[in-house]
Amino acid sequence: MFSIGELSKRTKVKVPTIRYYEEMGLLAEAERTSGNQRRYDKEGLERLSFIRHARDLGFSIEAILSLIELQEHPDRSCQAATEIATSQLTDVRAKIKRLRALEKELVRMSKGCEGDGVAEDCYVLASLADHKLCRREH
């Protein structure tokens, strides 16, 4: 059995986040000692590791809840899990596309400054003040 602090150290998930995951239903509420301290078993450790990994990959709480439900019903098709992962991949690719556009705009903007002082037509500051100076939507 693990205390919440031990669970936190083993999974590198902060204690308030563990409590939040319990509130959201991602993690089963821990058993309590007579002193009202939370105690987690190996299954709780494994579940929290699963959640941590899924969050690291950017899955939403809702997606993780769906994945956990699938995990708890091994007789179901893996297709639903694949669809959730594919949806996450689509979201990540869209974010990468937006970030690449943002990168290009920032490169262009940062190359626009040629003055020695801010008062001398700083293109970065002018661009931030006037969105029309940007070439792309971001």
pLDDT tens for each residue of 14-56: 999 999 999 988 998 888 888 888 899 999 999 999 999 999 9
Q: How confident is the model at residue 114 (pLDDT cuts 50, 70, 90)?
A: low
Radius of gyration of the chain (CA): 23
Return the domain boundaries, the chain. Answer: 4-76, 80-133
Length of the chain: 138
| Spatial separation of the C-alpha atoms in residues 114 and 96, rounded to whole Å | 30
In this predicted model, what pLDDT tens digit does every residue of 51-98 receive, in sequence order? Answer: 999 999 999 999 999 999 998 888 888 899 999 999 999 999 999 999
* Fold type of domain 4-76: Multidrug-efflux Transporter Regulator; Chain: A; Domain 2 (1.10.1660)
Beta bridge partners of 38: 32
Determine the pLDDT at residue 31. Answer: 83
Burial class for 85, CB neighbours closer than 10 Å (0-12, 13-18, 19+): middle
Closest of 67, 37, 49 to residue 7, by C-alpha: 49
Confidence band for 126, pLDDT divided at 50, 70 and 90 = confident
Structure pTM?
Answer: 0.76
9, 35, 47, 99, 119 from 1: Cα distances, Å: 14, 15, 14, 43, 63
Whole-number Å distance between alpha carbons of 54 and 11? 13
Q: Is pLDDT above 80 for 115?
A: no
Other CB atoms within a 10 A radius of the CB of residue 40 amount to 23
pLDDT of residue 21: 93
Q: How high is the pLDDT of residue 57? A: 96
Q: What would the mean pLDDT of 101-115 be, rounded to a whole number?
A: 81
And the tokens for 1? 């059995």
Are the beta carbons of 57 and 95 closer than 8 angstroms? no
